Structure 1
Amino acid sequence: MDLELRHLRAYLAVTRERNYTRAAERLHITQPSLTRTIQQLERILDCRLIERTSRRFTLTAEGEHFRAVAQRLLADLDTAVADLHLRSAVSIGFSWLLPDTWFADARTRFEALGGHVEIRRVDDPIAALQSGAVDVALYRRDSRLPAQLASRVIGVERRLLAVSIRSPLARRPDLRWSDAAHYPLVANTITGTTDETSWPTAPPGRTVVHCTNFDEWIELIAADRGIGGVPELARTRAPHPGVVYRDVPDAPPSRVRLVWRVKPAPARSVRRFLDVA
């Protein structure tokens, strides 16, 4: 039999408590099981570590020496494990445009603790999260999430109206959100922030052109297949020669969420990232 960590932990518990019953309780095992573990340790080391009688509990010279060795080994191991936990990478899945200020601050705080953030561009952050491809997802939709996922709002973004340069709305003064209600709509059904429910007063039978990613969405807008809504970040981060982003004072804001798995429970590094983010 080889020496195992359980032997070291059992031996140190016995030497601290100087009593097998109390040591077994500390380790949440039975006293006979603890006694067998110490006996196995002595056979592995081929020496007597503990002199035990009905009235006395003392360590042999070898026992004192091995106690110091075991303490050092376990302390070094615990330190190494804690350090690796801190250095663990957390992957963030996003479909487009990370919020600049939030991400810079969250990454700085997490990496100051020794961790590392990886960013991964994915078409469907929720699917990537469920498959285990990413640890945390950035999500902007208000749709219901699966039961094994949890989310938290981390910010609110102003919403702009995106229209083709050929659309009458590109030049219309004093534009209101309701002015776009009767125009055909381009909706990204996977990660978009705006769909037909974003206009409660839209007429029945409104034309809705569906797509599944931002690249398709912006090209459809440029082709004047419809209008769309998008967070303000797109104006500077995703300009397009065929698209005009219009400020609309009464446009409903969109929310940004972090989403993570709760079943199975998130790793310690993920919990630490969520705490700082």
Structure 2
Amino acid sequence: MDVELRHLRAFAAVARHRSFSRAAEELLITQPALSRTVAQLEGRLSVRLFDRSSRHVELTDTGAEFLVHVERVLSTLDQAIAVVSHRVTLRLGFSWLLPDPWAQQSVSRFEEDTGASVDLTRTDDPLQALRQRAVDIALVRGDVDAPRGARIMRLYDEPRIAVCSERCDLARLGHLDWTDVRYWPLVVNTVSGTTGPWSWPVDERPTQIIETANYDEWLETVAANRGIGIVPEVAQRRTQHPALRFVPLTSAPPSPVSLVHFPDARRTLIRRFLDAAVPE
């Protein structure tokens, strides 16, 4: 008989709720679709599983006997899936400082909902790691130059802040305006930085750019007073460096935070993570 798992889950849900409408809500399908699924099951088994009336739904004797076996089968299947799920890992690539509390909340929701785990992979270039399939999802800040065929889900925007050495004149100012950044040497992380000369129109760009290749190089270059940096505010909460000072930045455009993935890779697992990643 051509009986599918969806038939069994639909039957069990209706039997449990004694209601097609409540069972449809649980299964996240429409009531007509659920009714058709149950009718298909009855047709393929050539039996009547429910007595239906306008007021209530009851199991027939055959349906009650069938339910005992269906619940046993579904329970065994769920246990088997749980065992496998605990061995499944989703690889999330990031370059520096995962956003908080988004990261902790999203990973926790995903792991609780799926039983799978998240492997947090620190890499200087998350998009390159995604291209090489070394990660399943890349978390990227700033404007995204995504690989061909990849999809981008924008999560939210982070405010920016200026950072400089304790020996820098900027440390004694109360704030820095976005339009005045051009007058300071700007230290840029060319691989995964969120702010660079590309962040301004050509005629408004900083005239002196100091390039670095990763976050650690960028951090130490700023600390050495080679120039100032512009980063999302999360860096102020998470960076402990005695030689650095953070300065409020006014009129700055926000820095977007996005997730990038390939649609042909681990579709179900990635979709579940994307659902968990939407900020509350």
TM bracket, shorter-chain basis: 0.5 to 0.7
Structure 2 residue identity aligned to 1:97: L
Name stretches of at least 5 consecutive residues in structure 1 with no aligned partner: 1-11, 15-70
Measured in 1, the distance between the counterparts of 2:275 and 2:153 equals 11
Corresponding residue of 2:28: none
- Number of aligned residues: 209
User: 1:152-185, CA deviations, whole angstroms, 9 ceiling, x for partnerless residues?
Assistant: 1112111001112222111123432222212111
Query: SS state of the match for residue 2, structure 2?
Result: helix
1:207 to partner: Cα distance: 1.6
Corresponding residue of 2:218: 217
Measured in 1, the distance between the counterparts of 2:136 and 2:72 equals 32
Structure 1 residue identity aligned to 2:239: A
Query: SS state of the match for residue 193, structure 1?
Result: coil
Measured in 2, the distance between the counterparts of 1:145 and 1:245 equals 31
Structure 1 residue identity aligned to 2:158: E
Measured in 2, the distance between the counterparts of 1:130 and 1:161 equals 32
Query: SS state of the match for residue 93, structure 1?
Result: strand
Measured in 2, the distance between the counterparts of 1:229 and 1:175 equals 10
Corresponding residue of 1:172: 173
Equivalent residue runs for 1:82-93 within 5 Å = 82-83=81-82, 86-87=85-86, 88-93=88-93
Corresponding residue of 1:20: none
Percent identical among aligned pairs is 39
Query: SS state of the match for residue 219, structure 1?
Result: helix
User: 1:212-231, CA deviations, whole angstroms, 9 ceiling, x for partnerless residues?
Assistant: 11000011111122211101
Do residues 103 (structure 1) and 92 (structure 2) align?
no
Change in 2 beyond 3 A, CA 1:190/1:174: closer
Measured in 2, the distance between the counterparts of 1:170 and 1:129 equals 38
Measured in 1, the distance between the counterparts of 2:258 and 2:204 equals 30
Do residues 275 (structure 1) and 264 (structure 2) align?
no
Corresponding residue of 1:163: 164
Change in 2 beyond 3 A, CA 1:184/1:85: same
The answer as to whether partners of 1:109 and 1:276 remain within 8 angstroms in 2 is yes
Query: SS state of the match for residue 13, structure 1?
Result: coil
Measured in 1, the distance between the counterparts of 2:189 and 2:216 equals 10
The answer as to whether partners of 1:181 and 1:201 remain within 8 angstroms in 2 is no
Measured in 1, the distance between the counterparts of 2:84 and 2:271 equals 11
TM-score normalised according to structure 1 size: 0.67
Measured in 2, the distance between the counterparts of 1:257 and 1:204 equals 25
Measured in 1, the distance between the counterparts of 2:187 and 2:175 equals 22
Measured in 1, the distance between the counterparts of 2:200 and 2:245 equals 20
Query: SS state of the match for residue 173, structure 1?
Result: coil
Q: Return the index of the structure with the highest Cα Rg.
A: 1
Structure 1 residue identity aligned to 2:101: T
Corresponding residue of 2:94: 94
Corresponding residue of 2:154: 153
The answer as to whether partners of 2:161 and 2:246 remain within 8 angstroms in 1 is yes
Change in 2 beyond 3 A, CA 1:192/1:148: same
Name stretches of at least 5 consecutive residues in structure 2 with no aligned partner: 4-69
Change in 2 beyond 3 A, CA 1:148/1:204: closer
Measured in 2, the distance between the counterparts of 1:205 and 1:173 equals 20
Measured in 2, the distance between the counterparts of 1:115 and 1:205 equals 46
Corresponding residue of 2:239: 238
Measured in 2, the distance between the counterparts of 1:221 and 1:72 equals 63
The answer as to whether partners of 1:89 and 1:269 remain within 8 angstroms in 2 is no
Query: SS state of the match for residue 209, structure 1?
Result: strand
TM-score normalised according to structure 2 size: 0.67
Query: SS state of the match for residue 249, structure 2?
Result: coil
